[in-house]
Amino acid sequence: QVNLVESGGGLVQAGGSLRLSCAASGGFITYAAGWFRQAPGEEREFVAAISWTGGITRYADSVKGRFIISRDNAKNMAYLQMNSLKPEDTAFYYCAADLAVDSIVGGIPDYWGPGTQVTVSS
């Protein structure tokens, strides 16, 4: 069992930056980690994923070049650095974990956090 809790969401102006954090427990070091987001009235969207070693990263085209996923296994933490934020990035963001990176990219991770709100103003 992997337990995940997000933090770092908030309100930021367009062009600004935020860093989301995901505190994990339950064997997280051996799991791939990822981030998803869902805006009101829209489907959940894959954002980014990272292998348990940190050696492989994957990004949705919509955030590539602006967002960076990272992890610190010594602290049982995963992060999503969000730069050059746009109003369309406004969504509820979820941390996720799975043994397989492909399961995260495919939208079916085994574990989810409760989420945190990110709002980007125009």
Q: pLDDT for 95-104, tens place per residue?
A: 999 999 999 9
Q: How much is the average pLDDT of 107-113?
A: 95
Structure confidence at residue 117 (pLDDT):
98
> How long is the chain?
122
How many angstroms separate the CA atoms of 44 and 90, rounded?
A: 12
How many angstroms separate the CA atoms of 112 and 49, rounded?
A: 13
Bridge pairing between strands 91-98 and 111-112: antiparallel
- Is the per-residue pLDDT at 78 higher than 80? yes
How many angstroms separate the CA atoms of 122 and 118, rounded?
A: 13
Structure tokens that stand for 110 in this block: 């085994």
Structure confidence at residue 1 (pLDDT):
82
Q: How much is the average pLDDT of 84-93?
A: 98
- Is the per-residue pLDDT at 24 higher than 80? yes
The SS3 assignment for 8 reads coil
**Helices H, strands E: what count in the chain?**
1, 11
Q: pLDDT for 26-62, tens place per residue?
A: 777 789 999 999 999 999 999 999 998 999 999 999 9
Structure tokens that stand for 57 in this block: 């990263």
Structure confidence at residue 27 (pLDDT):
72
Structure confidence at residue 30 (pLDDT):
85
